[in-house]
């Protein structure tokens, strides 16, 4: 394994059909005032909202509502949340929803007592937190981002057309997360499928780096195989508990920092995908699926050995009598066929991207250096053009 690293993950997970019962245990650890953050109302279409409010009240909590956290939460919403949190001196932020609500809760957590503009400090200047942090707990209802067990927080600024993620340290990770796969059954099909590709992309961003023999790569191949297997079941039968629970747990491990240890990381698909998101407000996972095949076909020659390994170990390509290029290409062909089978978006046109946006999207894509090829502006435009097909 390369480099030196430290590893700790402070988030306590309660997983399974009885997980919500453990909210009582966790609430006892925090003060009276709870900010209940949630999205556009999906939790009110089931009994989840009522169940959670009852648990909060039974534990003597004063509940302050922060509803309407939108997918791809905005900086304006962040300011609004900070105001409610500060005025009511909240002791805990309870996020009930998907990655957007969890990310938002973390952003409010570090921003409420920030003396400067939190967008400038945390998202433009990427500074560390040096003010009071409000603890966050999550009840996860949508699977994909891994936000339930990491320090990531992605905020969108529509005025400047920037969507930026800050990966905070473990003092900002959720203190606990409740994960009941049954809560995810009501996710609309498009969102569910988008989450599946988000998971795949998180793994691939960490897999396609370096050439050494690394335990993390073996773990990631296992996670990918589980995801491919279970996603095929879940698209046909969304209420298959075995498939949905496996996918939920895979998503958490794909981005709870574990599999990235001892490796450099790529993240260019996410950088380009986030820029597409800033222009279109498209669903995160689909911004990734729409560019992944063109991106990986472009960088394949620079990481051929790993692409060959990916083809054999993940896609069961038979290497006999084939060149390395042929094997690697066959792996990507199989990945593309799988993606079409599941129903991921395969063209950025379907997300509302038009030719005149390509230059701006490329300019808004932060160029990172951890992958097999450091892209320049023109190469990003090239990948985007190949994603318009």
Binding residues vs ligand NZQ (CB under 6 A): 39-43, 71-72, 97-101, 103, 141-142, 144-147, 150, 152, 154, 165, 183-184, 186-187, 191, 195, 198, 255, 270, 284
Q: Which stretch binds Zn ion (CB under 5 A): 82-90, 134-142, 198-206, 376-384?
A: 198-206
Residue number with CB closer to ligand NZQ (44 or 132)? 44
- DSSP result, 178-206: EE-GGGGTTS-HHHHHHHHHHHHHHHHHH
For the chain, the maximum distance between any two Cα atoms, rounded to a whole number of angstroms, is: 69
Return the SS3 of 217. helix
Report the nearest approach of ligand NZQ to the CB of residue 152 (Å). Answer: 3
Residue number with CB closer to ligand NZQ (101 or 293)? 101
Q: Let me know: does 208 contact 371? Beta carbons within 8 Å.
A: yes
Choose among Zn ion, ligand NZQ, none what residue 9 binds, the Cβ cut-off being 5 to 8 Å by kind: none
Residue 138 DSSP label: E
Nearest-10 Cα torsion for 158, 161, 163, 166 = -100
> Cα–Cα distance between 110 and 113 in angstroms, integer?
7
Report the nearest approach of Zn ion to the CB of residue 287 (Å). Answer: 9
> Cα–Cα distance between 56 and 346 in angstroms, integer?
43
Integer Rg of the chain from CA? 21
Structure tokens at 16: 């399974």
Residue number with CB closer to Zn ion (39 or 135)? 39
Chain residue whose CB lies nearest ligand NZQ: 39
Report the nearest approach of ligand NZQ to the CB of residue 205 (Å). Answer: 9
Q: Which stretch binds Zn ion (CB under 5 A): 64-72, 122-130, 197-205, 303-311?
A: 197-205
Residue number with CB closer to ligand NZQ (49 or 315)? 49
Chain residue whose CB lies nearest Zn ion: 198
Q: Which stretch binds Zn ion (CB under 5 A): 169-177, 191-199, 257-265, 295-303?
A: 191-199
Residue number with CB closer to ligand NZQ (227 or 311)? 227
Residue number with CB closer to ligand NZQ (198 or 266)? 198
C-alpha angle 362-268-179 in degrees, rounded to nearest 5: 125
Choose among ligand NZQ, Zn ion, none what residue 98 binds, the Cβ cut-off being 5 to 8 Å by kind: ligand NZQ
Distance of CA 34 to the CA centre of its chain: 25
Q: Is 198 in the site for Zn ion (CB under 5 A)?
A: yes
Distances (CA, A) of 44 to 49, 177, 187, 276: 5, 20, 13, 31
Site of interaction with Zn ion (CB under 5 A): 198
């Amino acid at each position: 394994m390369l480099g030196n690293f430290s590893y700790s993950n402070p988030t306590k997970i309660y997983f399974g059909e009885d997980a919500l019962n453990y909210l009582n245990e966790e609430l006892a650890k925090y003060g009276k005032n709870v900010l209940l953050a949630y999205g556009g109302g999906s939790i009110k279409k089931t009994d989840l909202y009522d169940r959670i409010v009852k648990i909060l009240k039974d534990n003597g909590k004063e509940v302050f509502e922060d509803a309407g956290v939108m997918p791809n939460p905005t900086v304006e919403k962040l300011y609004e949340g900070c105001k409610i949190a500060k005025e009511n001196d909240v002791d805990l932020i309870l996020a009930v929803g998907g990655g957007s609500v969890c990310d938002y809760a973390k952003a409010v957590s570090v921003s409420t007592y920030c003396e400067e503009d939190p967008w400038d400090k945390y998202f433009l200047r990427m500074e560390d937190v040096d003010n009071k942090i409000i603890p966050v707990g999550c009840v996860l209802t949508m699977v994909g981002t891994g936000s339930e067990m990491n320090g990531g927080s992605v905020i969108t600024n529509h005025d400047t057309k920037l969507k930026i993620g800050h990966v905070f340290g473990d003092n900002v990770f959720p203190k606990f997360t409740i994960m009941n796969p049954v809560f995810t059954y009501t996710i609309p099909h498009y969102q569910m499928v988008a989450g599946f590709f988000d998971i795949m992309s998180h793994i691939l961003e960490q897999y396609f780096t370096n050439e050494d023999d690394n335990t993390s790569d073996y773990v990631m191949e296992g996670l990918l195989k589980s995801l491919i297997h279970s996603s095929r079941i879940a698209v046909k039968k969304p209420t298959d508990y075995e498939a949905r629970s496996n996918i939920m747990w895979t998503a958490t491990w794909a981005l709870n920092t574990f599999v990235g240890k001892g490796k450099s990381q790529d993240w260019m698909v996410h950088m380009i995908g986030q820029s597409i998101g800033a222009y279109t407000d498209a669903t995160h996972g689909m911004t990734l699926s729409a560019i992944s095949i063109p991106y990986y076909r472009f960088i394949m020659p620079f990481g051929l050995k790993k692409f060959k390994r990916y083809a054999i170990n993940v896609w069961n390509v038979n290497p006999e009598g084939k060149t390395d290029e042929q094997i690697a290409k066959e792996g990507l062909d199989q990945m593309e066929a799988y993606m079409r089978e599941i129903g991921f978006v395969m063209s950025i046109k379907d997300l509302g991207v038009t030719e005149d946006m390509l230059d701006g999207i490329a300019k808004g894509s932060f160029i990172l250096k951890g992958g097999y090829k450091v892209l320049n502006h023109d190469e990003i435009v090239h990948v985007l053009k190949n994603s318009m097909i």
